C-alpha cells in the first residue's frame, strides 16, 4: 500500500461534513483519501509538507473546447460571430489528427498546471475517427481526470452515432478517462435529431452536454421539456436568456448548468446566470469554454462570475464560487463520488496553493483570498488519484518545450492552409 500524508496545510475541504482546518493533515492510501484531521500519525507515509499551503480539492472545468488551444489569445477582441467564423468556418476544416492531438494535450496540461484536475473536453472539431482517436490519445497521455465529450460538431456537423458507439466501447467508466455525448440543440439540428441523440445517450448510459440560450424569443428548455427530453444527466452550457420558468424546469429535472462567465460577458451572450439559477433551485458550475477568447484558469472564471453577479445584485459569497468550481462541477459530471471535495473515500484529486506568495500574502481568510486574488502561479502541487503530477510548481514528466514546438508548428500549418494571418490583423467577418 502506498501512503501519502499532506502535512500541516490549511485544509479547505469543500465538504461540510469534513469542515476546514486552519492547520490539518490529509492521509491518502492507494490514491484514496482515508482521513482528514488536525493531526494524523502515519510514520510509514511519504510526507508532503503542506505548511504555507492551502489544501483544496482540484478544480473541475466541465466545458472546454481543447482543440482550439493552438489559437490561444488570438481572438480577445472577437465577438461570438467572429469566433464562430474563425474557428468553425475557417480553420476547423484544415485540422489534421496531429493538430487535434497537440492542441488537446497542451490544453489539458495547461489546465492541470493551473489546478484543473478534472476537465470535460467538449470535442466538436468532428472530422472523423482518426481525429477522435488523436484527442483520446492526448487525454490519456495527460495524467489527469478527463471526460471526452464527443459532439457532432457545429456549423458543419456530421452524424456521430457510429462514433459514439465506437468510443463507448473503447472507454470504460472506471478509469481517469471517461466519455460523454455532446448533443446538438434543437435550434441547430431539429427536435427529431435531438430526440434520437438523447435516446442513444440513454441506451448507452452516457451523460450529455448541450449548448443553449435564448434571446427571449425561443424557449429551448420548454420545448425539450414538452418532448420529454430533459435528463438529470445533462449539463446545459451557458443558458443566457433562459426564462426563470425554464431554469426551474432544469432544476426539477435535476439537470445542471455550466456558466462560462468571461466568454458570456465578452462575446455578447448576456449576463451569466449564476444568481438566477440559484434562485430557481439550480446549482451553477463554472467552465472556460474557448481559450482563443479567454484565459484557461478557473481562478479567473471564479473572479469574473463573482464580479458579474455582485455588479447585478450584490449576490454570491466567495465560497459559492469555490463550490461551483469544485464539488458542484464534479456533481454535474457524475463524478461527485470520486472527486470535487476532500472527503474520505474519494480519490485524492487535490491541489496545494502557496500562501507565502507575495501576491496573496498574508492569507487571513483562505476562501476569500483565493477567490479574490488567486491565480495559477500559486498552484505548487497537484495530485490526481493520489499521484503527484505537479511538484514544486512544475508538471512531473511533461516535456513542455517539445510540446510547445509541436503546437507552434501545428498553428502555423493550419493558419497557412486556411490563409489567415498571425500578425494581429486577422479580423474574421461573420
Site residues, Zn ion (CB under 5 A):
289
- Report in angstroms how near the CB of residue 396 gets to Zn ion at its nearest: 30
Quick one: three-class SS letters along 164-209?
HHHHHHHCCCCCCEEEEEEECCHHHHCHHHHHHHHHHHHHHCCCEE
- Report in angstroms how near the CB of residue 65 gets to Zn ion at its nearest: 6
Q: Which is nearer to Zn ion, 259 or 363 (CB)?
A: 259
Q: Which is nearer to Zn ion, 211 or 354 (CB)?
A: 211
Q: Which is nearer to Zn ion, 289 or 297 (CB)?
A: 289
Residue for cell digits 472539431?
125
Answer for the pair 239, 213: CB distance below 8 angstroms, yes or no: yes
Q: Which is nearer to Zn ion, 9 or 428 (CB)?
A: 428
d(CA 376, CA 122) in angstroms, rounded, equals: 22
The set of cell numbers assigned to 166 is 465506437
Other Cβ atoms closer than 10 A to 43: 7
- Report in angstroms how near the CB of residue 80 gets to Zn ion at its nearest: 10
Complete DSSP assignment for 261-280:
HHHHHHTT--S-SHHHHHHT
- Report in angstroms how near the CB of residue 258 gets to Zn ion at its nearest: 9
Q: Which is nearer to Zn ion, 115 or 213 (CB)?
A: 213
Q: Which is nearer to Zn ion, 80 or 426 (CB)?
A: 80
The set of cell numbers assigned to 244 is 426563470
- Report in angstroms how near the CB of residue 321 gets to Zn ion at its nearest: 20
- 3-class SS of residue 420: coil
Answer for the pair 237, 210: CB distance below 8 angstroms, yes or no: yes
Query: 395 - beta bridge partners?
Result: 390
- Report in angstroms how near the CB of residue 291 gets to Zn ion at its nearest: 11
Q: Which is nearer to Zn ion, 112 or 267 (CB)?
A: 267
Residue for cell digits 476546514?
20
- Report in angstroms how near the CB of residue 122 gets to Zn ion at its nearest: 6
Secondary structure element (H or E) that encloses residue 413, with its range: helix 400-418
Number of H-type helices and E-type strands within the chain: 15, 17
- Minimal CB distance residue for Zn ion: 289
Amino acid at each position: 500500500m502506498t501512503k501519502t500524508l499532506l502535512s500541516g496545510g490549511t485544509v479547505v475541504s469543500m465538504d461540510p461534513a469534513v469542515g476546514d482546518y486552519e492547520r490539518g493533515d490529509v492521509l491518502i492510501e492507494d490514491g484514496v483519501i482515508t482521513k482528514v484531521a488536525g493531526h494524523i500519525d502515519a510514520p510509514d507515509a511519504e510526507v508532503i509538507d503542506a505548511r504555507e499551503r492551502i489544501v483544496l480539492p482540484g478544480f473541475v472545468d466541465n466545458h472546454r473546447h481543447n482543440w482550439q488551444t493552438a489559437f490561444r489569445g488570438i481572438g480577445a477582441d472577437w465577438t461570438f460571430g467572429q469566433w464562430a467564423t474563425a474557428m468553425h468556418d475557417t480553420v476547423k476544416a484544415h485540422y489534421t489528427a496531429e493538430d487535434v492531438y497537440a492542441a488537446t494535450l497542451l490544453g489539458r496540461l495547461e489546465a492541470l498546471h493551473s489546478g484543473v484536475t478534472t476537465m470535460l473536453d467538449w470535442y466538436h472539431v468532428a472530422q472523423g475517427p482518426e481525429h477522435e482517436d488523436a484527442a483520446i490519445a492526448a487525454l490519456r497521455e495527460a495524467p489527469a481526470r478527463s471526460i471526452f465529450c464527443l459532439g457532432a460538431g457545429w456549423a458543419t456537423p456530421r452524424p456521430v452515432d457510429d462514433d459514439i458507439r465506437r468510443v463507448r466501447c473503447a472507454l470504460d467508466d472506471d478509469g481517469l478517462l471517461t466519455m460523454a455525448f455532446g448533443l446538438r440543440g434543437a435550434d441547430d439540428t431539429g427536435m427529431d435529431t435531438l430526440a434520437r441523440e438523447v435516446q442513444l445517450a440513454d441506451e448507452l448510459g452516457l451523460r450529455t452536454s448541450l449548448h443553449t440560450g435564448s434571446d427571449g424569443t425561443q424557449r429551448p428548455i420548454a420545448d425539450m421539456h414538452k418532448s420529454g427530453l430533459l435528463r438529470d444527466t445533462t449539463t446545459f452550457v451557458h443558458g443566457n436568456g433562459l426564462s426563470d420558468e425554464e431554469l426551474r424546469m432544469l432544476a426539477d429535472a435535476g439537470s445542471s448548468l455550466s456558466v462560462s462567465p468571461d466568454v458570456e460577458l465578452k462575446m455578447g451572450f448576456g449576463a451569466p446566470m449564476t444568481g438566477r439559477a440559484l434562485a430557481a433551485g439550480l446549482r451553477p458550475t463554472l467552465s472556460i469554454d474557448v481559450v482563443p477568447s479567454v484565459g484557461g484558469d478557473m481562478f479567473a472564471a471564479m473572479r469574473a462570475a463573482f464580479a458579474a453577479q455582485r455588479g447585478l445584485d450584490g449576490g454570491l459569497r466567495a465560497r459559492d464560487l469555490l463550490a461551483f468550481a469544485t464539488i458542484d462541477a464534479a456533481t454535474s459530471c457524475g463524478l461527485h463520488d470520486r472527486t470535487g471535495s476532500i472527503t474520505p473515500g474519494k480519490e485524492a484529486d487535490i491541489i496545494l496553493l502557496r500562501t507565502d506568495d507575495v501576491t496573496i500574502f498574508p492569507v487571513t481568510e483562505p476562501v476569500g483570498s483565493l477567490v479574490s486574488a488567486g491565480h495559477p502561479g500559486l498552484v505548487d502541487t497537484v495530485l490526481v488519484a493520489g499521484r503527484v503530477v505537479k511538484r514544486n510548481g512544475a508538471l512531473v514528466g511533461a516535456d513542455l518545450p517539445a510540446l510547445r514546438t509541436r503546437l507552434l508548428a501545428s498553428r502555423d500549418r493550419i493558419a497557412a492552409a486556411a490563409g489567415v494571418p498571425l500578425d494581429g490583423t486577422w479580423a474574421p467577418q461573420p
